[in-house]
Structure 1
Amino acid sequence: MSTNENQPGPNFIRQIINNDLKNNKNDGKVVTRFPPEPNGYLHIGHAKSICLNFGIAAEYNGRCNLRFDDTNPEKESDEYVESIKRDVSWLGFEWSELCHASDYFEQLYDYAVQLIKQGQAYVDSLSAEEIRAYRGTLTEPGKESPDRSRSIEENLDLFQRMRAGEFADGQYVLRAKIDMASPNMNMRDPAIYRIRRVHHQRTGDDWCIYPMYDYTHCISDAMEGITHSLCTLEFEDHRPLYDWVLDEVKTPCHPQQIEFARLQLEYTIVSKRKLNQLVMEKHVNGWDDPRMPTIAGLRRAGFTPKAIRDFCERIGLTKQNSWIEMGVLEYCIREDLNENALRAMAVLQPLRVVIDNYPENQVEQLEVSNHPQKPEMGKRIVPFSKVVLIERDDFAEVPPPKYKRLVEGGEVRLRGSYVIKCNEIVKDADGNIVELRCSYDPDTLGKNPEGRKVKGVIHWVSEQHSHPAELRLYNRLFSVPNPDNEPNFLDVINPDSLEVLTDCRVEASLGTADPDNRYQFERTGYFCLDAIDSAGGKLVFNRTVTLRDSFEKD
C-alpha cells in the first residue's frame, strides 16, 4: 500500500480495503473497475465514480479496468464508447485493461446453461406485463409463473432455440429460479436473458439474446478478478442477487460489492434519459454544451481535470444521499483558475476613447504581467495607441456614490499603462454616448507621480490592434436547485442560461489563444477559447465561471 501523506483521509471504503489487506484477503490485491453503459456521455456524477475507482486502485498499487456494459445495443453506439474513453483519459486516468461485457457473451451463456442444468433457471413465456403482475408488491408475495415447473430438458431446449433465433422478440425470457416470496423484489425470479434482434456495435448480428445487467455485471467482475465492486446506493438492494449469481455459478472469484452515495448536484440533472431529451429536443447545443453537466460540457466550458478531481475529493464518500451545492464545484474551479489562469483583457461592450494629446501614429508595445502574483508565468506585449476601447460601464455621466471609474473631468488608470482624464463626451443625434475625448499623462506609465491619487483602474484594448470576438456568458442551466423534483424539468430551464455578446474586442495576444489555456479576463470572469466554434478563424470564448459567486444563497 502507498504511504503518500498527501492522500485523502480514511473513509468507509478505505477502511474495508485496509481490513481486507490486513487479513490478506484476495491475496493482498486491490482490483477495481469503472463500468459505464455506452448509451450517453458521462456526467459529473460519473466523475465521482471514476475518481473513486481509479483513485483507489492507484492508492493501493492495484489495477482498475474500464469496462463497457454493452448489453443493451438498442441505446448504445461507438460515439458514446469513444466519448467515455476520451473523458476518462482527460480526467487524468489510465485503465489497466479495456474490457466489454460483450467479451464475455459466450461465458455468460454457458453459465446460464449451467443454472438451467442445476434447476435454478427456467424459460418463461409470460409477457412483461404479466411478469410485473405476478411479481407482487412490497407487502404481498409474488406468484409463481406456470412455466416455473418446466423440466430441465425442456428449458435447455427452449433456451438453445432462443439463441438460434426461432422465437420473436419478447416471446420468452430466461429467469433465475430464486424465491417469489422474498421480501427483496430483486430476488423474485429476475429475468437474466431476453430476446432482442438488435445489431450490436461489437458483435454484429451474432446474438439475438442479450443478458440482463444484474446477471452480467457480477460475472464480468468475477471474470476480471475484481476485488472490490464499488457502486452507488441504488444497487444496495441488488447485492443479494449479485452474491446469489456468483455463488450458484461458482465463478473463479467472488468480488465484494460496496455501495456509496451517488453525487447529487444542485441546479443539474444526471439522468441520461433526461440529458438525452435535452439534446434531442435541442434545448441545448449537444452533449458538450457548456451548460450540460457532462464531462464533455464541463471541459468545453473550461473546467480543468484538477478542479473536478478536487471537487470529487472534497465532497467525500458517504452512505447517505445528499445534495451538493453548485457553489462547491464553482469554488473548486475558481480556486484552480485564480492560481493558474493567464490574465488578459477583453472589452465586452466597447466605448471608444480618443486620447487627443497622444501622437497620431505612435504605437507603444507595453509589457504586462501574465499573472500579478506569479512572475514565473512571464509577460506579454500589449500594444497601446491613440484610440482605445473601454467597457461602457466603466464610464458614468452621472456617477453613483463611491464610483471609482471614469467620469467627465475625472481620472482613471488604464491597466498596465497610463492615467487618462476625460475632457469631453461625444453623443449622437439620439443623445447616446459614442465617444470620449481624453488626455493622457506621459509621466504616469506604470506609476503614480508623488501627490497624485488615482484610485480607479480599468481594463482596455487598443482599437487598432484588438481582435473582434464573441463571448458566451454561461449560467446555470436550471433556475431551481432541484429540477428533478419539478413536475416537468423542462419548465424550469433557466431562460438566462446563455447570453451571447457578439461585439466584443480582445487584446492582441488572444489572436493566437490556445484552447488548452484558461484566461482570466480582468474584472469579467474566467474564459477559454471554444476550440470547435473558433476553428474557422472566428474567436469565440466561453465563460467558465464568474470571478465570484453571483448567486445569492437560498
Structure 2
Amino acid sequence: MDHVDTEVRPSNFIRNIIDADLESGKHTQVQTRFPPEPNGFLHIGHAKSICLNFGIAKDYQGKCNLRFDDTNPEKEDIDYVHSIQDDVRWLGFQWSGDIHYSSGYFDQIHQYAIELINKGLAYVCFLNADETREYRGTLTKPGKNSPYRDTTPEENLALFEKMRLGEFKEGECALRAKIDMSSSFMVMRDPIIYRVRFAHHHQAGDKWCIYPMYDFTHCISDAIEGITHSICTLEFQDNRRVYDWVLDNLDDFNKPNRTRQYEFSRLNIEYTLMSKRKLNDLVDRKIVSGWDDPRMPTIAGLRRRGYTPASIREFCERIGVTKVENLIEVGMLNACIREDLNENAPRAMAVVDPIKVVIENYPEAQQETLSAPAHPTHEHLGTRELPFGRELYIDAADFREEANKKYKRLVLDKEVRLRNAYVIKALRCDKDEQGKVTTVYCSYDAETLGKNPADGRKVKGVIHWVEAASAKPAEFRIYNSLFTEANPAGAESIDDVLNPTSLVVKHGFAEASLVTAKAEKAYQFEREGYFCADNKDSKPDSLVFNLTVALRDTFGE
C-alpha cells in the first residue's frame, strides 16, 4: 500500500512506528479508532486525538472506527453518544462503517473472563473496598495476596456465574485478574476486571448486572476490531501493562501482529482546564452556563464561540505529537482561528459601545445606500449595502475632545474618514450629568465618498459606524480567559484563579445586514474583532453576538 507523503505531513514517533510496521509486513493496512467514554462532552484535548486517529487512517489509506467504550452505565448517557458523533462530524471526519460499542462485545468479553478463570488467572474476591485498598499496598510498600486468591477455577466459575445472575450485592465481590501483588506498578496488583452493577445500560438495556472494567474491556475491544495501533495519552502509560497482560493471556489474541498501545502527551493549553471532573464542577456550580458555554474548552463551546473545524485541525497539526508534556501558549490557538477568519470571514460593522453622531449639514430627510466589499481581497464574495443618513453611531473610544497626534480618530475640530463613506469633522458634543459624551455634532464633505476622495485630501484616521435608523440593537458578549493563571490546574483552589471579567456583556448596534447572520458563522466586525451569532440566544429580532477572537492577542485572551 502507499505510505503517507511525509513532505505533506510532518512525521512523528507514531508515524515512524507505523512506517516500520508496514515496511516489515507486520501490518498491511492501518486500523485506528477513536474510543471515547460517553460520560461527558468532548473538549479540545479530545479533538487532538480525533485529528490524530482519523488523520493517520486517512493518510495511510486505512480505516478509523468510532467506538464508545461504554462500561459504566451509571455515568453514561445517550445524549453524550449523540453529541460526540456530532462533534466528530463537525470536525470534518467520518468513521468507517457502523458505530461500534464495547457493550456490543459484552458476550465475548464475558467468555474471555471465563477463559482467564479456567487458566487460574482470575478469581472472585470478597474483600470490601477498604480491605482491597489495604491489601494493595502503597507506592513504597508491596501489596499482599487476597485470602480468596487461591480459590480453585471451579469455585471461581461458580461464583462468577452467581455474580452474573445477580446473586451478590453491589460491592460484595468482584472478579480480579491474578497478576502480581508485589509489582512496582499499582495497576498490576490484581486489578478488578468485573464488578456488580444493577444499572440500566443505554445500549445493552437490563441484560447485565455485571460490567467489565475499562482496562479489561478496552484492549479486548481493540483486538476484536483488529486495531493495529491503539493510540492514547500518556496517562494510560502504566495501564499498557494490563493491556498487554490481558491480550497475551487470551488465546485468540496472543499473536505477533496483535494490537499494540502507544502513548502521546495530552494537550494542555494556557488559561484552560482539561480535567473532565473539574469542568463538570464548573457546570454544576453554575460558574459557566453549561458544557457549551463559549468560555469552555469543549468542542461545543468552541463551536458556539465561532471557532471553525479548519482552525482546530490546523492547531492540532501545529502542536505536533510527542511524548513530552508541555503547556501550549493560548496565542497559538488564537493565531489559527485568526488566520482562518482573516481569510474567510465576511466583513461587517457593529458598534459595541455606542455614542451618537449627528451630521448637521446632511439633509434631514435624505438616506442613501452605499456599497462596501464583503471582503477586502476576495472580490468574488461581492459587496454589501450600507444605509447612510444624518444620524449614526460610532464607538465611544473613537472620539475625544482633545488628543495628541498619536490619536488617529475623531477629535473636536479635526477630520476622520468613516469607513467606506465620507470624511466628517467634529464640531461640538453633548454630555450627560456624569460628564460622559452622548452625542457628537459633525459636518461632512459630500465630495469625499469612498477611499479616493475627489479633492485628494489625506485623512489619517478611519473609524467604523452604523446608520442609526436602520441599525439593529444587539448584545455583544466579550469573552476572555476563564482563569487569571496560565496553569489553573496547579492552583490550590480553582475559585482563587477565576477571572471576574471572563464575560463582559455590552449593548450596541449592528449594521442591518447582520439580521440574517447565521449562528456560529463568524464575521469580522471591522476594527472590533471576530464575532458570530450565538447558536442559542440570537434571533433576528434580538441579536446576540459572541466574540470569537480579538484582532490581536491581549493578556489572558
Write out aligned runs for 1:93-172 (5 A): 93-96=93-96, 97-172=98-173
Hey, what does 1:531 align to over in structure 2? Answer: 535
**2: CA distance, partners of 1:393 / 1:120:** 73
Hey, what does 1:391 align to over in structure 2? Answer: 395
How many residue pairs get matched? 551
Question: Does the Cα contact within 8 Å between 2:304 and 2:520 map onto a contact in 1?
Answer: no
**1: CA distance, partners of 2:215 / 2:157:** 21
Write out aligned runs for 1:314-329 (5 A): 314-329=318-333
Letter in structure 2 aligned against 1:64: C
**2: CA distance, partners of 1:22 / 1:496:** 55
> Is the alpha carbon distance of 1:419 and 1:113 closer, same or farther for their aligned partners in structure 2, counting shifts above 3 Å?
same
Asked if residue 310 in structure 1 is aligned to residue 314 in structure 2, the reply is yes
Asked if residue 355 in structure 1 is aligned to residue 372 in structure 2, the reply is no
Hey, what does 1:30 align to over in structure 2? Answer: 30
Instruction: Report the 3-state secondary structure (helix = DSSP H, G, I; strand = E; otherwise coil) of the residue aligned with 1:382.
Output: strand
| Alpha-carbon offset, residue 366 of structure 1 | 0.8
Hey, what does 1:189 align to over in structure 2? Answer: 190
| Alpha-carbon offset, residue 426 of structure 1 | 2.5
Instruction: Report the 3-state secondary structure (helix = DSSP H, G, I; strand = E; otherwise coil) of the residue aligned with 2:478.
Output: strand
Instruction: Report the 3-state secondary structure (helix = DSSP H, G, I; strand = E; otherwise coil) of the residue aligned with 2:237.
Output: helix
Question: Does the Cα contact within 8 Å between 2:4 and 2:60 map onto a contact in 1?
Answer: no
Percentage of matched positions with identical amino acids: 59
Q: Which moved more, 1:249-258 or 1:129-138?
A: 249-258
Letter in structure 2 aligned against 1:219: I
Asked if residue 483 in structure 1 is aligned to residue 488 in structure 2, the reply is yes
| Alpha-carbon offset, residue 290 of structure 1 | 0.2
Instruction: Report the 3-state secondary structure (helix = DSSP H, G, I; strand = E; otherwise coil) of the residue aligned with 1:146.
Output: coil
Question: Does the Cα contact within 8 Å between 1:112 and 1:121 map onto a contact in 2?
Answer: yes
Asked if residue 248 in structure 1 is aligned to residue 246 in structure 2, the reply is no
Instruction: Report the 3-state secondary structure (helix = DSSP H, G, I; strand = E; otherwise coil) of the residue aligned with 1:58.
Output: helix
Question: Does the Cα contact within 8 Å between 1:34 and 1:64 map onto a contact in 2?
Answer: yes
| Alpha-carbon offset, residue 327 of structure 1 | 1.0
Question: Does the Cα contact within 8 Å between 2:3 and 2:19 map onto a contact in 1?
Answer: no
| Equivalent in 269, 285, 303 of residue 265 of structure 1 | 269
Instruction: Report the 3-state secondary structure (helix = DSSP H, G, I; strand = E; otherwise coil) of the residue aligned with 1:444.
Output: coil
| Alpha-carbon offset, residue 310 of structure 1 | 0.5
How big is each residue's C-alpha offset from its partner over 1:303-338, in whole Å with a ceiling of 9 and x where there is no partner? 110110000010001111111111111111111111
| Alpha-carbon offset, residue 346 of structure 1 | 0.4
**1: CA distance, partners of 2:70 / 2:243:** 18
Hey, what does 1:87 align to over in structure 2? Answer: 87
**2: CA distance, partners of 1:495 / 1:478:** 9
Hey, what does 1:64 align to over in structure 2? Answer: 64
**1: CA distance, partners of 2:55 / 2:417:** 48
| Alpha-carbon offset, residue 217 of structure 1 | 0.3
**2: CA distance, partners of 1:320 / 1:313:** 16
| Alpha-carbon offset, residue 401 of structure 1 | 4.5
> Is the alpha carbon distance of 1:516 and 1:429 closer, same or farther for their aligned partners in structure 2, counting shifts above 3 Å?
closer
**2: CA distance, partners of 1:338 / 1:363:** 31
Question: Does the Cα contact within 8 Å between 2:519 and 2:538 map onto a contact in 1?
Answer: no
Question: Does the Cα contact within 8 Å between 1:448 and 1:454 map onto a contact in 2?
Answer: no
Hey, what does 1:494 align to over in structure 2? Answer: 499
**1: CA distance, partners of 2:358 / 2:539:** 33
Instruction: Report the 3-state secondary structure (helix = DSSP H, G, I; strand = E; otherwise coil) of the residue aligned with 1:74.
Output: coil
Hey, what does 1:177 align to over in structure 2? Answer: 178
Question: Does the Cα contact within 8 Å between 1:227 and 1:256 map onto a contact in 2?
Answer: yes
Letter in structure 1 aligned against 2:464: H
Instruction: Report the 3-state secondary structure (helix = DSSP H, G, I; strand = E; otherwise coil) of the residue aligned with 2:81.
Output: helix
Hey, what does 1:467 align to over in structure 2? Answer: 472
TM norm structure 1: 0.97
**1: CA distance, partners of 2:80 / 2:444:** 57
Hey, what does 1:370 align to over in structure 2? Answer: 374
> Is the alpha carbon distance of 1:428 and 1:183 closer, same or farther for their aligned partners in structure 2, counting shifts above 3 Å?
closer
Write out aligned runs for 1:229-248 (5 A): 229-248=230-249
Question: Does the Cα contact within 8 Å between 1:219 and 1:251 map onto a contact in 2?
Answer: no
Write out aligned runs for 1:403-422 (5 A): 403-422=407-426
How big is each residue's C-alpha offset from its partner over 1:514-541, in whole Å with a ceiling of 9 and x where there is no partner? 2252101111111011121014731000
| Alpha-carbon offset, residue 137 of structure 1 | 2.2
Letter in structure 1 aligned against 2:544: V
Letter in structure 2 aligned against 1:143: K
| Alpha-carbon offset, residue 372 of structure 1 | 1.0
Question: Does the Cα contact within 8 Å between 1:342 and 1:517 map onto a contact in 2?
Answer: no
Instruction: Report the 3-state secondary structure (helix = DSSP H, G, I; strand = E; otherwise coil) of the residue aligned with 2:79.
Output: helix
| Alpha-carbon offset, residue 6 of structure 1 | 6.1
| Equivalent in 512, 529, 546 of residue 542 of structure 1 | 546
| Alpha-carbon offset, residue 424 of structure 1 | 2.3
**1: CA distance, partners of 2:556 / 2:262:** 37
How big is each residue's C-alpha offset from its partner over 1:49-87, in whole Å with a ceiling of 9 and x where there is no partner? 000000000000000001111101111101111111111
Write out aligned runs for 1:429-448 (5 A): 431-446=435-450, 447-448=452-453
> Is the alpha carbon distance of 1:172 and 1:552 closer, same or farther for their aligned partners in structure 2, counting shifts above 3 Å?
closer
Cα RMSD for the two superposed structures: 1.5
**2: CA distance, partners of 1:288 / 1:71:** 25
| Alpha-carbon offset, residue 397 of structure 1 | 1.0
Letter in structure 2 aligned against 1:456: G
Question: Does the Cα contact within 8 Å between 2:180 and 2:190 map onto a contact in 1?
Answer: yes
- The answer for unaligned runs of 5 or more in structure 2 is none
Instruction: Report the 3-state secondary structure (helix = DSSP H, G, I; strand = E; otherwise coil) of the residue aligned with 1:116.
Output: helix
Letter in structure 2 aligned against 1:381: E
**2: CA distance, partners of 1:326 / 1:67:** 30
How big is each residue's C-alpha offset from its partner over 1:114-146, in whole Å with a ceiling of 9 and x where there is no partner? 110111100000012211111122232210000
| Alpha-carbon offset, residue 250 of structure 1 | 2.2
Asked if residue 382 in structure 1 is aligned to residue 386 in structure 2, the reply is yes
| Alpha-carbon offset, residue 4 of structure 1 | 4.6
> Is the alpha carbon distance of 1:497 and 1:6 closer, same or farther for their aligned partners in structure 2, counting shifts above 3 Å?
farther
Letter in structure 2 aligned against 1:83: S
- The answer for unaligned runs of 5 or more in structure 1 is none
Question: Does the Cα contact within 8 Å between 2:418 and 2:424 map onto a contact in 1?
Answer: yes
